[in-house]
Structure 1
Amino acid sequence: MTLRLKLKHCKFTVFTLGEGEADEFHGHEDVYQVSIQLEGISIMQHEKTQRHTGCPESRMLLSPGQRHRHLAGDGEARILLITIKQNFLKNVIADRLGVPETEVCFVPWGRDSSTKVLVQQVEQLFLRSLCHPLSRMESDEFEWKLVSFLLSIHKGTHSNDWVPTAPPPIEHPSLRKGIEYLHANLSSPITLDDLCKITGISKYHLIRSFQRHVGSTPGRYLRNLRLHTAAQLLRNRNHSITSIAFETGFHSLSAFERAFKSKFGVTPSEYRNMFSV
């Protein structure tokens, strides 16, 4: 069974591959495409790189001209495709940053809890469209919000200008103090006890407050902050990879490389080469 929903600039498709089945190895010239595993286990191939995807936090993002395919493993595999027109994504970036339209190339792999948010947004869109046809305004708003969210969570050539370096706006005063402390002490070893002293909040309530207001635990927030900062520094060749590892709070180069590859799907050196001129 295949589900499809087409808006002006985006298309959403949910399809199923039978056990051992695969689609053709192909590419798209004028669209970006996100692939997300919904059920089962499959192998996703991006050019010459393959990955087993059974984790609900994983996603593959295809830039125009790049080839890919999906291969089902044992049992059926259910996959969501989000297709975005190239010109529309350029328009969103130009509008947000106030710059002329530019080409964007994404890193191919992403893995974080934001993938689940993408899926939830698309599921809600399908449900809304079943109840009543979307108005032009509703459709436009959804597409802009979805693409803006994708640009915020998935790394690419736009990220140096797009990702904010300041702490996110948090109304909770004690929690804001803790987040500012994390940003200011990124290279230092930070414990949950440290944050409790800074915020005056118990560990239990600190973790619950982070999850409620920020969407993650303190540890995961700090880890993502360190990795995003490292990614920004990697685009500047004045910093060695080893110095970046310690500057962003990793106790060893090997620990940094493992964490970076787990987050972005490529090693720090591979990531740096993607942005070399």
Structure 2
Amino acid sequence: MEMKLDLEHTGVLLFDLQIGEADETHTHDYFQLSVPMSGNLLTYHNHKELKLENNQSLLVPPGDIHQHEAYQNQKRIMLISFNEDIVQKVYEDRTGDKLHSIDFSPIQHVSTNLVHKAKSLIQSASFHGVEEAMNLEEEFTSAILDHSMGSHSQGWHRNDQLHYTNEPHIVHRLIEFIHDQYYNQLSLEVMAMHMNMSKYHLHRTFTKHMGVTPVNYLHQIRLKTAVSLLLQSKYDITQAAFEVGYRSLSTFNRAFKNVYQQTPSQYVKNHRFK
């Protein structure tokens, strides 16, 4: 089932490709972010083959040739489009500066927050009309710039420095980042790089306000999600562990037992059918 929304400066398209099916090789006069919604996706960018993992997306600039192909099974794909005008406006409104060039890294990490905002944009248009959705274009573009890497990143995030004396703001931003990226290989160093802060300052500030360290908070989010998967689905313990971001089953088991005082298998046995 295809869902499509075309606004003045942005757009969202959700569509399916059947096994072995590919769309036509094509270009656009706007930026386009291709997000796999159902596993890995085979893409071609300027005739170069790129296999996107389920946590990767492809961002192509205007004029670049690209194509999508369902090479193993049916694929659901989200396409997010936006033009240079809206990027320039949103960037200037936030920073007070103009972007001299607009370039993005071709391979981006998938942001669940951005995907949710794209779906919300479609829902807003469906329930309240396209005019209402158009009022959200700048907010949507801000989310795109928040969750993408490119020539805008340094200036875009520089304003975050203004909030560094506002510790609740720091904590709130890190919580959002952890919830958005918990399934990836996060560490205190990665968190500090994202926040553009020292590990020490970030660790101290977060622990002061939350009562737990950033890494322990990450474990909490991962474990709560794992419990939900184990009790409400057919995931086995190994699948659940890797789904929520653990790369070692022993690390998952140890973290689980520290929180729930029993192993994952014991917990499932005691709770799944209650």
Shorter-chain TM-score range:
0.5 to 0.7
Unaligned runs of 5+ in 2: 174-187, 223-274
Question: Do the aligned partners of 1:175 and 1:209 also contact (CA within 8 Å) in 2?
Answer: no
Which residue number in structure 1 is paired with residue 51 of structure 2?
52
Structure 1 residues 184 and 5, CA gap change in structure 2 (3 angstroms)? closer
Other structure's SS at 1:95 match: helix
Q: How many residues of Structure 1 are paired with residues of Structure 2 in the alignment?
A: 200
For 1:76 and 1:172, the matched residues in 2 are separated by 42
Structure 1 position 69 matched with structure 2 position 91: no
- Give CA deviations for 1:100-146 in whole Å, capped at 9, x if unaligned: 4633011101125xx21111112222223332314x4x434421111
Shift of 1:184: 5.9
Question: Do the aligned partners of 1:90 and 1:103 also contact (CA within 8 Å) in 2?
Answer: no
1:13-162 map, 5 Å: 13-28=13-28, 30-55=29-54, 57-100=55-98, 102-112=100-110, 115-134=111-130, 136=131, 138-162=132-156
- Give CA deviations for 1:34-62 in whole Å, capped at 9, x if unaligned: 1101124321222244332341x321111
Structure 1 residues 76 and 90, CA gap change in structure 2 (3 angstroms)? same
Shift of 1:72: 0.6
- Give CA deviations for 1:168-225 in whole Å, capped at 9, x if unaligned: 544289999x999x96645xxx7xxx947994689x83348856xxx99xxxxxxxxx
Question: Do the aligned partners of 1:174 and 1:199 also contact (CA within 8 Å) in 2?
Answer: no
Structure 1 position 205 matched with structure 2 position 212: yes
For 1:198 and 1:63, the matched residues in 2 are separated by 37
Q: Give the root-mean-square deviation of aligned CA atoms.
A: 3.9
Other structure's SS at 2:114 match: helix
Q: Which has the higher helix share?
A: 2
Question: Do the aligned partners of 1:23 and 1:69 also contact (CA within 8 Å) in 2?
Answer: yes
Identity of aligned residues (%): 25
Question: Do the aligned partners of 1:175 and 1:199 also contact (CA within 8 Å) in 2?
Answer: no
Unaligned runs of 5+ in 1: 217-277
Structure 1 residues 42 and 195, CA gap change in structure 2 (3 angstroms)? closer
Question: Do the aligned partners of 1:174 and 1:200 also contact (CA within 8 Å) in 2?
Answer: no
Write the letter of the residue equivalent to 1:10: T
For 1:3 and 1:197, the matched residues in 2 are separated by 43
Question: Do the aligned partners of 2:171 and 2:205 also contact (CA within 8 Å) in 1?
Answer: no
Question: Do the aligned partners of 2:59 and 2:104 also contact (CA within 8 Å) in 1?
Answer: yes
